[in-house]
Amino acid sequence: MNNYDVIVVGAGLSGLIAAAAATAAGAKVMLAAKGAGTLTIGSGTIDLLGYDNAGRPVAAPAAALAALPADHPYGKLGLPAVQAAADFFLALCAAAGYPYCGTLAANRWLPTAAGTLKPACLVPATMDLAGTEDAAHVVVLAFAGLRDYRPEMVIEGLSRRPGFRGKHFSTAVVDAGFGPGRDATALDLARWLDSDAGRRECAEQLKKRLPPGCLVLLPPVLGTRPDYQAWRDLEAATGCRLVELAGIPPAVTGFRLRALFLAHLRRQGVAIHEQAPVTGAVVANGRCLAVVTGQPDRRREYRAGAFVIATGGFLGGGFESAPGAACESIFGLPLDVPADQLAWSEPRLLAARPQPFARFGLETDQDLRPIGADGRAALANVHFAGPNLAGYDYSCEKSGNGVALVSGYHAGTAAGEGRA
């Protein structure tokens, strides 16, 4: 079918949320995807705001939103919208049997594979340290052949950080018996723990190697499915708290959230078109009539009453750039960027302040529709979400999935309710 109420372009978190929100608003939705989306890259935690624009850590993110610049996406949408999106997300995850923990009121600091702590608000229960404060002994697990997680690095960093100073650290190794071949990833181990046999074998090994009552930090390997089954089984078998580390891709915890959303959307009857890169649009009188895709064989037009463009800015391919120039990829909306390439970035990569290029993006109205030179919506039925929006640096602020969630939810709702 090529005629929908709402078409969402992009299958990252903002697109998935937008499709879910539009469906919840009663719309018939199509999701056009190019690639598997960024949830395969990031850990699937909802990091609302970890650092302010001066690089200071934020303890109470919801309260700190008010101090952000007015052109920040959160500033545009306001706290009630932020809360509504979080409620929607939490309800959806809970209904799917994979409830997230946390609130917007306080940041949780999650341990990472680099031995750092990373701030986030809403997190899978497997990543949450709450309730482990009393554990005096921390065991950091290694898995044989897993080059992306090394306990020594975790311990070197964490042992110097708040909440972990003074604890006793040790390591233990689990061997999944993979044998020779390519390097194992956390995803391979998660697939191993999807199986009953893998869970049994892992539990046997852990029981031999874990002292009672310890806190176990481990790579994100507790299954690929959004169901906490592996986590519950292994905690029950060992009597220890198991907490998954955030790490480098493939992001197993992100895969779980992606699987949860895709299953939800399929159940809701959303038409998911993989391998359908949107390359252009048909626009008349300030309205988008259709998006144009460039499949390998030919271009196709898909019509809808409203559109959500969640194409991920520079990272997702939502923006194109060349020396001294950049624009949005589907509608060709220009981005205001400096001609001098060195002015796009800070001299330091990890500058603890926003990178100019990260703040490049589309200026929108409150419904996330792009505004033209006159300050009015240039496209009446097109809503942008996620890193397509101007005014924030997801990496420096630790606000990536937060903005994706809030803007995706808002864009999807606006598109779903405003449909023709």
Partner 1 sequence: MTKTQAVVIGGGATGAGILRDLAMRGVKAVLIERRDLANGTSSRFHGLLHSGGRYAVKDPESAAECVAENAVLRRIARQCVEDTEGLFVRLPEDDAAFETEWLAACRALGLPAAPLPPAEALRLEPGLTPRLAAAYRVPDAAIDGFRLCWQNVASAVRHGGELRTYTEVVAIERAGGRVAGVVVRDAVSGATSTIACDLVINAAGSWVGEVAALAGAAVDVEPDRGTLIAFNHRFAGRVVNRLRPPADGDIFVPHGSVVIFGTTSAAADNPDDTAPRGEEVNALLRLGEPLFPDLPRYRILRAFAGTRPLYTGGHGAAGRAASRTFAVLDHSREGVHGLISVVGGKLTTYRLMAEKTVDLACGKLGIAVPCRTAAEPLAAGPAPGLLAAARKYFPAGGAELAAARLGDAFGAVVGRLGDDPANAALICECERVTLGEIKEVAACATTHGLGDIRRRTRLGMGTCQGAYCGFRGVAAVCAAGLADKPAAGLLGDFLEERWAGVRPVLWGTQLREQELLRGIYGASLNIDGAMNDEQL
Partner 2 sequence: MNKNCCDIDACTACSTCAALCPVAAAVREFPGPKLAGPAAERFRRAGARDDAALAYCTNCKTCEITCPSGVPVAAINMRARAEHQKKHGRKLRDWLLAHGEHMAKLALPAQPLADLGMDNPVTRQVLKAIGIAAGRPLPKYARRSFLRQFGKLRQQPCADKIVFFPGCFTNYNAPEVGLDLVAVLQANGHEVVVPKGLNCCGLPLVTGGYLEEAEAAAKRNIAVLAPYAAAGVPILAACPSCGLMLKQDYRELFAADGAAEVAAKTYDAMEFLLELRDAGRLNTAFKPGKARYLYHAPCHLRAQGIGRPTLELIGALPGVTVADLDAGCCGIAGSYGFKDDRYEISMAIGQELFARIKAEQADAVLTDCGTCRLQIAHGTGAKALHPVSVLRKAYEPAYKL
Q: Report the interface residues with partner 2, using CB under 8 A.
A: 1-3, 30, 34-38, 40-41, 178-182, 185, 187-188, 191, 249-250, 255, 262-263, 266, 271-277, 293, 295-298, 316-317
As a whole number of angstroms, the distance between CA 200 and CA 126 comes to 19
Strands 319-322 and 299-309: unpaired
295 interacts with, out of partner 2, partner 1, none, CB within 5 to 8 A per kind: partner 2
Q: Which range, of 22-30, 36-44, 59-67, 130-138, touches partner 1 by CB under 8 A?
A: 36-44
221 interacts with, out of partner 1, partner 2, none, CB within 5 to 8 A per kind: none
Assess 106 for contact with partner 1 (CB under 8 A). no
CB of 374 to partner 1, least distance (A): 29
Beta-bridge partner residues of 299: 294
State whether the Cα torsion 164-119-316-190 is positive or negative: positive
E strands, 80-237, are: 100-101, 108-111, 117-120, 123-124, 137-143, 168-174, 215-218
**DSSP three-state, residue 211:** coil
Count CB neighbours of 26 within 10 A.
Answer: 12
Assess 156 for contact with partner 1 (CB under 8 A). yes
263 interacts with, out of partner 2, partner 1, none, CB within 5 to 8 A per kind: partner 2
Residue number, 159 or 321, with CB nearest to partner 2: 321
State whether the Cα torsion 417-291-365-62 is positive or negative: positive
Count CB neighbours of 166 within 10 A.
Answer: 7
Residue number, 183 or 336, with CB nearest to partner 1: 183
CB of 14 to partner 2, least distance (A): 14
188 interacts with, out of partner 2, partner 1, none, CB within 5 to 8 A per kind: partner 2
CB of 33 to partner 1, least distance (A): 17
Assess 1 for contact with partner 1 (CB under 8 A). no
282 interacts with, out of partner 1, partner 2, none, CB within 5 to 8 A per kind: none
Identify whether the C-beta of residue 132 lies closer than 8 Å to the C-beta of residue 217. Answer: no
172 interacts with, out of partner 2, partner 1, none, CB within 5 to 8 A per kind: none
Peptide bond into 250 cis (omega under 30): yes
Assess 42 for contact with partner 1 (CB under 8 A). yes
Q: Which of 88, 37, 96 is nearest to 416 (CA)?
A: 88
CB of 332 to partner 1, least distance (A): 16
**Edge to edge, what strands does the sheet with 168-174 contain?**
168-174, 137-143, 215-218, 241-244
Q: Quickly tell me which residue has 């891709």 as its tokens.
A: 249
Identify whether the C-beta of residue 306 lies closer than 8 Å to the C-beta of residue 415. Answer: yes
Residue number, 11 or 210, with CB nearest to partner 2: 11
* Angle at alpha carbon of residue 210, lines to 209 and 214, rounded to 5°: 165
CB of 185 to partner 2, least distance (A): 7
90 interacts with, out of partner 2, partner 1, none, CB within 5 to 8 A per kind: none
Mark 318-337 with x for binding to partner 1 (rule: CB under 8 A) and - for no binding.
Answer: --xxxxx-x-----------
Residues 264-285 as b/e (b if ≥16 CB within 10 A, e otherwise) read: bbeeeebbbbeebbbebbebee
List residues binding partner 1 (CB under 8 A). 38, 41-43, 47, 50-51, 55, 57, 112-119, 144-145, 147-153, 156-157, 160-161, 180, 183, 246-249, 251, 313-315, 317, 320-324, 326, 340-342, 344-345, 347-352, 355, 357-358, 394-396, 398, 400
